[in-house]
Amino acid sequence: MTSALQLPAELWLHVFSFLPWKDKLSVRCTCSHFKHLLDKSHPLWRGFGVVLRHFSKYNHRFWRSLAQRHVRSVLVRSGKRKHLKQLSTWLPALDTLRMDGWKESGMNELKHFQRLQNLSITHCSTPLKNLDFLFPLNRQLTQLSLCNVQLTCSASHFLAAVCQLTHLTSLLVHHDGSLRVPTLSGVLTHLTKLKHLSWTMITYRMLSHDFFSPAHLSAGGGALQLSDLQLLNYDAVVTQDVLQPLSHLRSLSVFHLYSVPGPTCHLQTWLTSLPQLCSLSVHGGHPLSAYVEFLPSSLLNLTLCVDLQPEDLQLVSLRAPHLEHLHLEPWSSSSNLIRLLPQLFPHLKTLRIRHRQVSDSDFLQLQQLQHLDTLEVLDPYYKPDPKDPSLVINEPSPHLLQLISDLQKLTDYRVHVITNSHRDPIICNCV
């Protein structure tokens, strides 16, 4: 029998390519041969990222292994200035960095990262008084995320720092309300390549007529190239004139500040102003019945974390007959909704639901969705002891696992079922 070590390296690398990150890390610990093969093969680690938090525990062998794999994505928790210097020395090709729980004083060391393109700053332990550390990065950053931060700098300083990042395609600013920017026109004027914008609104007034109007469009009309817009803590009044520059928008996500923002459902105005909308995500706000008749027929992707009834879903199927992706988290019981999905949305490819209060028969009826390839169960936990409701196991129950197995058998294993959504640590957790 041929020894495993005598097999061609190409064969082993092909086998390793099918393994998830966790298994690759386990395999490289089995012997020096596999360790050498894995660490020297850069394609096997494409997209691989690490979380660093205790720098004193990392020796030269650890850093060398990361360097050999050409790690380009890192999340650093509560580091210091010297740790950024160490990181830039060992991983000079780093292009994605998330700094979690940092102090402003250490951020000046970002200038050492010559290839940094994606920067995320989250949960700062102190308020950000200025954003001067961004100026050395103005020619390289394409994605900037400021999430769960307190911005005590002036609005003018914030705009001066952000607007000089003219290569940005994605900007995310989620703050505690301390930043007061009257309009987004200044940002949109300078960031002409921006495709994705996620912004904390925190305003209850009517948006000014130029809120989304950059200078280069205000004179001759036209529309922005912005394709994806997310609005957090939204409760603002809008008119169709305000939204005219967004007519090319393809994706809209609205996270309402309150369950019912007011007597008027302004989402109606949004939907009638966005004729090319393909993706809509609504969290809170008015019940679905208040705007369901305004949904554009172009919708392919829909997320509803709102109050809705079965008859509302029937109207959705009429308004958006080609829906392919559905994320359903109704505030009321979903037991009467899941059974309707195969008939109402026969073209679904992905579905995200909670399985609580859904009968086994209704769950298995999802086999009728002939095009479904991915099902995500959003509540994979259970309480094993009825006498102790405080004990929660954050894993799929044996009963749920059996249900999933039965569904996969019924679909000839066509449907991939996800029970634990492993989010990218670099991505913001607010949305």
- Report if residue 334 sits inside a domain: no
Q: How many domains are there within the chain? A: 1
- pLDDT, mean of residues 246-252: 92
Residue 1 has pLDDT above 50, yes or no: no
Range of lowest pLDDT (153-167, 170-184, 228-242, 250-264): 250-264
- Report if residue 1 sits inside a domain: yes
**pLDDT value for 422:** 59
Residue 29 has pLDDT above 70, yes or no: yes
**pLDDT value for 425:** 64
Domain around 3: 1-46
**pLDDT value for 45:** 79
pLDDT tens, position by position, 12-25:
888 888 888 778 88
Two tokens at 296?
A: 């554009």
d(CA 323, CA 280): 11
d(CA 366, CA 352): 12
- Report if residue 78 sits inside a domain: no
- pLDDT, mean of residues 105-129: 87
List the beta bridge partners of residue 280. Answer: 252, 302
**pLDDT value for 73:** 92
Cα of 38 vs its chain's centroid, Å: 29
**pLDDT value for 424:** 64
- Report if residue 212 sits inside a domain: no
d(CA 320, CA 289): 15
Residue 399 has pLDDT above 60, yes or no: yes
> Residues 245, 214: contact at Cβ < 8 Å?
yes
pLDDT tens, position by position, 323-333:
999 999 988 76
Residue 130 has φ and ψ, to the nearest 5°, of -150, 165
- Report if residue 393 sits inside a domain: no
Mean pLDDT of the chain: 88
Q: With bands split at pLDDT 50, 70 and 90, how would you rate the model's confidence at 260? A: low
pLDDT tens, position by position, 173-225:
998 877 888 889 989 999 999 999 999 987 767 888 889 988 666 555 556 78
Instruction: Kindly report the CATH number assigned to the domain that includes residue 3.
Output: 1.20.1280
d(CA 326, CA 67): 40
- Report if residue 15 sits inside a domain: yes
- Report if residue 8 sits inside a domain: yes
- Report if residue 23 sits inside a domain: yes
pLDDT tens, position by position, 135-181:
999 999 999 999 988 888 888 999 999 999 999 999 999 988 778 88
